[in-house]
């Protein structure tokens, strides 16, 4: 009996105890604070039209600037690729230049030997024709060089060309036009149209009248 009365008394006290809310404590509610604070989207929406127009123009200018930089970089890359390709092609094209340069003295010696033997052979008609053998050897060597892009410059009777000829002497000649090659001291050579050695020549001039 006594325990029952105590339980009823406890329940009555719990039901009669007033509850304290956040409003009574003076604390602001989170939802209200959130609703009152302006968002970034609201700020953009409320920005004056003049500011938006200026921002748009600035962005458009920046886009054009970046596009121009991109085009410039692309052009630079293309130029580098073309230059590298050209240099690689020239390296392959003129790889034989040192070898050809070293070979020219041997060819010069063969040419001189052929000329000397031709003069000697005229006096020794009954001897084996050595000049023909040297000429054949020289022709085979010249043909092999031609297959690899080497061309001989032998401009006898042609107009003097300073790009491919070297004048070692000049002489008057009534039978030849001025600036004509009268004699070739030493033939020249090119490798794939690049000058390896200029032809050394004698050039005609106008006859000097006293």
Q: So what's the pLDDT on residue 23?
A: 47
State how far the Cα of 114 lies from the Cα of 141, in Å rounded to an integer: 14
Neighbours of 181 (CB within 10 A): 21
Tens-level pLDDT at each residue, the chain (210 residues)? 555 555 554 554 555 544 445 444 455 454 444 455 555 555 555 666 667 788 888 888 888 889 999 999 999 999 998 898 888 888 888 888 888 888 898 888 888 888 888 777 776 666 667 777 888 888 888 888 898 899 999 999 999 999 999 999 999 888 889 999 999 999 999 999 999 999 999 999 876 655
97-205: CATH number: 2.30.22.10
Angle between helices 130-147 and 97-123 (to 10 degrees): 160
Q: So what's the pLDDT on residue 22?
A: 47
Say if residues 155 and 183 touch (Cβ distance below 8 Å). no
Helix %, strand %, coil % for the chain, to 5? 55, 15, 25
| 156 Cβ contact list (under 8 Å, min separation 6) | 181, 182, 183, 184
Classify residue 210 as exposed, middle or buried by CB count within 10 Å of its CB (0-12, 13-18, 19+). Answer: exposed
Say if residues 192 and 93 touch (Cβ distance below 8 Å). yes
Cα angle vertex 107, ends 105, 109, to 5°? 70
Helix (H, G, I), strand (E, B) or coil at 95: coil
Q: So what's the pLDDT on residue 116?
A: 82
What's the Cα-to-Cα distance from 122 to each of 116, 136, 138, 210, rounded to whole Å?
Answer: 10, 18, 20, 42
Instruction: Return the domain boundaries, the chain.
Output: 97-205
């Amino acid at each position: 009996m006594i325990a029952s009365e105590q339980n009823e008394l406890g329940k009555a006290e719990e039901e009669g105890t007033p509850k304290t809310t956040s409003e009574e404590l003076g604390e602001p509610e989170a939802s209200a604070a959130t609703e009152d604070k302006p968002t970034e989207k609201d700020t953009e929406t409320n920005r004056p039209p003049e500011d938006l127009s200026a921002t748009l123009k600035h962005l458009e200018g920046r886009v054009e600037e970046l596009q121009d930089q991109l085009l410039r970089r692309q052009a630079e890359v293309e130029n580098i690729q073309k230059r590298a390709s050209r240099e690689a092609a020239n390296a392959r094209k003129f790889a034989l230049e040192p070898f050809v340069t070293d070979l020219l003295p041997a060819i010069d010696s063969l040419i001189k030997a052929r000329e000397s033997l031709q003069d000697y052979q005229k006096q020794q008609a009954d001897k084996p024709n050595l000049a023909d053998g040297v000429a054949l050897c020289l022709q085979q060597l010249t043909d092999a060089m031609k297959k690899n892009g080497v061309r001989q410059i032998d401009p006898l009777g042609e107009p003097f060309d300073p790009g491919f000829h070297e004048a070692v002497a000049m002489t008057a000649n009534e039978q030849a036009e001025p600036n004509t090659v009268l004699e070739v001291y030493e033939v020249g050579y090119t490798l794939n149209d690049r000058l390896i050695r200029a032809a050394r020549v004698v050039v005609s001039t106008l006859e000097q009248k006293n």
